[in-house]
Amino acid sequence: MASSSAAEPVFRFSDRTRRSSLGLRFMVPVMHAVFVGAVFLLDSALDRRIHEEPWYIGVYGVLVLVTSVQYFYTAGSSPGYVIDVMKAGSTMHATYINTATLSKQSGSKNGSLNSPQLEKHNPTTYTSSWMQQVVNLYSPGSSNSDWTCTYCRVIQPPRTRHCQDCDKCVLQFDHHCIWLGTCIGKKNHCRFWWYIFEETILCVWTVALYIESLHLDINKAWWKEFISVILLAVLIFILIFLLLLLIFHTYIALTNQTTYEVARRKRVFYLRLDLHKYRTHLLKVEVVAICDIYRPL
């Protein structure tokens, strides 16, 4: 009775989180419809431009469509879950690591893991291939307490983190995007960058249409002009946010970092080590092992 009552709030919290995420994902298409639709509804001179310059509005419409498709494509993509890699055991000989096997491999040097949940979800005996490949990716001196997720008890490759919203370990975890309703990680960070880029271009073009409408249509009704000014102010705020986000993610992509590593640099154990030595070690091992680990992705 006590255990069931204790688990109930977690379940409800998860449901509220899921509903909130779905609500935010629904808001993004609605915002596209509102801001783009207002351009055509509030600009009385737009019909003339459509006839005079059909290519201009046509290209803008294609950009709206491409950005919308990219949004749903990114939102529905997998960031690269550790569990998905492990399920492809026939390819990489890896899945949940048996506690006894891990103890034999680690010995007294690295300690042992007490993971009853691991045995619960591991009905068959697996090889230590996954553990061995992951251990080789870590720099000497790190312990298995740094490798193991405290929630799902799986051996994590470097730069992996457990996402509380998705309740899964994400390879090269960047952040959980509430607007997309999914994590951003190794597998979909490139798609996320392209979405931000396309969204920024669309926002710049829409701001230009609003400014052009206010400047050219001097006979516009006062209420239309008032709504246009309000929407323009909101769009400029969104544009500033998107530009900063695009610059930041371009920077971390070029420097091979993640948002989580930048924000939690003092808490990430491998960043507390000699970063140059760690990256040198990781680069050497990746040549041999990284393809095997991430091949199913």
Catalytic residue ranges: 177
Q: Kindly give the pairing relationship between strand 168-170 and strand 175-177.
A: unpaired
Task: Output the CA torsion 101→107→111→112 (10° steps).
Answer: 20
CB 98 within 8 A of CB 122: yes
Residue 34 three-state SS = helix
CA 146/CA 154 separation, integer angstroms = 11
> Which residues are CB-neighbours of 160 under 8 A, at least 6 positions away?
82, 149, 169, 170, 171, 172, 173
Measured in degrees and rounded to the nearest 5, phi and psi for residue 203 equal: -65, -40
Could you give the C-alpha distances from 93 to 112, 129, 191, in angstroms and in order?
22, 6, 29
The residue among 161, 167, 168 whose CA lies nearest residue 11 is 167
Which of the 8 DSSP states describes residue 158? Answer: T
The residue among 31, 24, 108 whose CA lies nearest residue 67 is 31
CA 194/CA 227 separation, integer angstroms = 30
